Structure 1
Amino acid sequence: MDEYIPYLKAKQILTARLGASPDEIASWVAFGGLNAYEKHGNRLQPFSYQNPKHYGDGNYIRLLLGLYFLINEVGRFEPTKRYIARAALIDRWQRRYPDVDTIDFIVQQRQLPEFHPIAGFADVGDGGKWAQGMFDMADVERIESESPPASVEPEKPGRLDETKSEIDPNLSKLGKQQQAILLVIAIKGFDPMKIPDGEKGTIRAICEGEYPKIFDGNTSFDRAWDEGKNAKPPLWRMEHHESYARRGKK
């Protein structure tokens, strides 16, 4: 039976697995093959940003808040494209090209298409609800390769750098612990709903070794694990969860 989770749960998993931002999740829903669903009465139906009823609202993030996602799809989703929001690109290029104001010139020259989840393409000249869009990272990296900075300090790799993600400092302690667990599950390549038997100890060891300030007690990991396992819907499960559950009822 299909199991759906609300956007905020899906965001937590996608951020841990892929380092995704809300803007990028919106782009995947609009252009990249991540299916989303909205409520119609008591039923869930496929959602589309291109529905004309959304044209009066340029806030594609706000529309995400009411959506639902298939938990198995979120756990396995592999994007074919990565996206970066305009504000994030400005910050990236201000550090890379501190003396050059390039973004609007490049966009206006159509060297760098700017996409909008609702409108399709952003309209820089509009200055209104369609003016803030998303960029394909392949296009951004192409331009960067053609115009390398004079000197760039290499970024210092952080913990678990493969995920391009960090623990959100605004989360509660439990939220940070659960995000760290999801991060490690993603790095190990496990389906969060089918974690192989015996790997809980591996996940614990990595979490406690990499994040000692978060998992600072003897039972910190177990409490966070049980909270995530028993959440509705759950954040993770062991591969043979159902057989364990039946065994526990005997």
Structure 2
Amino acid sequence: YLLSLSGWRGSFLIWGLLGILSIITWLFVRDGHVKPETKNITLGAGVRSPSVWTLGLSHMGTFGLGNAIAAWIAVYLSFQYGLPLALAATLGSLALLTGMFFRPLGGILIARNIIGAIPLLRLGTILGCAGVGLLAIPLHYPPLAITGMACIAIGSTIPYTSVFNEAAQLRTVSKGVAQGLVSVISTPTVLLGPPLIGLLFEQTHNFTLAFGSIVLFGCVAITASFLAGPALKREAS
């Protein structure tokens, strides 16, 4: 919609201004910061921590996977189902943006002991991987796409609290180091995923192999999420 009104530059300008407005708003928020008890703040402790690596690789297959697919979902819907690009972008955005409601839901579920952090993390990695797998199936069947996008929307957001809450509780690594490294370790899907999808789509002219390649990241994340439990038992306070 914004593209038709103001072009690409105008669209990016509008969203950029909204982003600046949100930053200014946060500058006036009192966060009640309390200086935490210092643990091991060395970077090496984080690099050597199995918990940091398993959490980071799990995050790669949830939040990272969702971002990689979000970059191509409009093109996928337009190509696979013949939708106008503007409509495809709208539907893709609505489907994935609903995931923002599942991020706080994950925190609520953990806080109320309805589900543990690690089981929720495992659920998220499985849902994300399954969702991409459904989109990779070369069938023109709308319920398949809807189910796939729903799985990605939920799987990429609901375990967010699990990752960073568990990283903050490590006994051997400080919160800042642990959470920072988890974010860095999770970046391969975000950095490599979109160009990899584009390259494979250009070569094959379909999304089967393009999205199928992202399933590999999801499989790594699922494996890491099941290894995270034992690692955290050894390192968490």
Q: TM-score range by the shorter chain?
A: under 0.3
TM-score (norm 1): 0.22
Q: Using CA pairs below 8 Å that are at least 6 residues apart, which structure has the higher relative contact order? A: 2
TM-score (norm 2): 0.23
The structure whose residues are more often strand, as a share, is 1
**For the pair shown, which has the larger CA radius of gyration, 1 or 2?**
1
The structure whose residues are more often helix, as a share, is 2
